[in-house]
Amino acid sequence: MNRARWGNGARAVASGLLWTAPWWLGFLLFLAVPMGMSLYISFCDYPLLQRPVYIGAANYRALVVDPVFHKVLLNTAVYAALAIPLGTVAAVLLAVLLNQRVRGQSWFRACVFVPTVVPLVGTGLVWLWMLNPEYGLINQALRWISPTLDGLNAALAALTGHRAQWLTRLAAGPEWLSLPGWAMAALVLVSLWGLGSAVVIYLAGLQEIPEELYEAAMLDGASATRRFWHVTLPGLSPVILFNVIIALIGTWQIFALPYVLMRGEPGPQRSTYFYTMYLFDNAFRYLKMGYASAMAWIQLLIILALTGLVFLAGRRAVYYRGA
């Protein structure tokens, strides 16, 4: 009897493994094994065209004293600190606007989403033209409204006693990709181009907020602003948490857009040299695959740590309906 049960159980396990084989084989071949190899290579001197030589933790010790590594770490952190909050606020506001029942609603939603299906290289080439200091569309628009910006600067000077140099430069049309501060600002601006996916997710979240909550708030005399703060944002908080984590992972892996916009170079004073770009250069330009693998594992640990911090912050800030 026990043998029969054991045989039936073994056949059930074998059948289950067979049916799930596409998943676990793919996991082993394309994730687990490559990650294990990468971990081993991170402890090796591996010039890619020769056999790896084990050198212990030398790659990790070299990263600690590498000034370029410190620079790309800071650049990526600054970019994430600017792009994630700005993108989150813009996406939520766009979703709220697109959720209104107005004529042409579907058309406006399509306009917001379409840029996300454009390949990143194509997007980079378009923005390369738009950010051109001489004939780019953005600088032409800034020159057109330069009297307004000059007036704003004059008013600021009257209040503070001095003009804002960045506002003066903005009115004249900055060289976006040639100056350190403006290059970072340009990349943050370009990041807003791909908000369509987040907006669609926020729209789905808005549909899940019960109308009864808005009706109750209106009966209590809550204004539109109060309904947004006390009904919409709490209802969207789980979706915001999800999108922030996705944005966090994406910003710490940013590569294609700065690589295209800067033509594969680090940018002015390495101001737009990001973590993944330096990792790529070490692996395929300098043929230091062991060094690049060590960077990859540190990148994974950074993303995991930041994701954990976001989850901890979300325990108090996120409201789960029915929980």
Please provide the average confidence, as pLDDT, over all residues in the chain. Answer: 88
Integer Cα distance of 168 and 206 in angstroms: 40
pLDDT of residue 198: 93
pLDDT of residue 307: 95
Q: What is the mean pLDDT of residues 208-225?
A: 87
For the chain, the helix, strand and coil percentages under 3-state DSSP, each to the nearest 5: 75, 0, 25
pLDDT of residue 4: 59
Q: Counting every residue, how long is the chain? A: 323
8 Å CB contact between 52 and 41: yes
Domains of the chain: residue spans and CATH? 62-133+174-317 (1.10.3720.10)
% of the chain surpassing 70 pLDDT? 96
Q: What is the pLDDT of residues 129-183, one digit of tens each?
A: 999 888 888 988 888 888 888 888 788 787 777 777 777 788 778 888 888 888 9
Cβ-based neighbours of 102, under 8 Å, separated by 6 or more: 108
